[in-house]
């Protein structure tokens, strides 16, 4: 989804990927940012928090008519129906990130 948003073009691909991973881990309650992830990515959890919040905002307030083909594709079970995953509540995300 970020590929079609100019605001994300200035972010480094590695930081964007790391932030997406942290958001996914948080959304699915699979743990937080581990020392191993920090070592191999080069980013601390605190480095990623602002971008993680922006990504969740993008998921939460994305117009449903925009990118409908992408949403339809990733709603299929072949792609584990990831487009159907409910974004996190912004306050809950803030609370979860502040604990890590």
Each residue's pLDDT tens digit, 1-20: 788 788 899 999 999 999 99
* Closest among 13, 93, 14 to 50, alpha carbons compared: 93
Please state, rounded to an integer, the average pLDDT across all residues of the chain. 89
Cα distance between residue 90 and residue 64, in whole Å? 19
**pLDDT 10s digits, 49-70:** 999 999 999 888 876 666 678 7
pLDDT at res. 2: 85
Q: How far lies 76's CA from each of 1, 58, 60, 66, in Å?
A: 16, 21, 20, 18
Cα distance between residue 60 and residue 54, in whole Å? 10
Cα distance between residue 16 and residue 81, in whole Å? 21
As given in the structure block, the two tokens for residue 52 are: 């993680």
Q: Is the pLDDT of residue 41 over 80?
A: yes
Cα distance between residue 71 and residue 82, in whole Å? 9
As given in the structure block, the two tokens for residue 17 are: 């990927």
């Amino acid at each position: 989804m970020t590929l079609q948003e100019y605001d994300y073009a200035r972010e480094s691909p590695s930081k964007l990927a790391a932030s997406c991973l942290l958001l996914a881990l948080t959304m699915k309650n699979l743990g937080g940012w581990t020392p191993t992830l920090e070592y191999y990515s080069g980013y601390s959890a605190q480095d990623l928090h602002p971008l993680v919040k922006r990504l969740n905002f993008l998921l939460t307030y994305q117009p449903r008519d925009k990118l409908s083909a992408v949403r339809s594709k990733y709603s299929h079970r072949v792609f584990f129906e990831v487009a159907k995953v409910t974004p996190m509540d912004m306050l809950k995300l803030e609370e979860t990130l502040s604990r890590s």
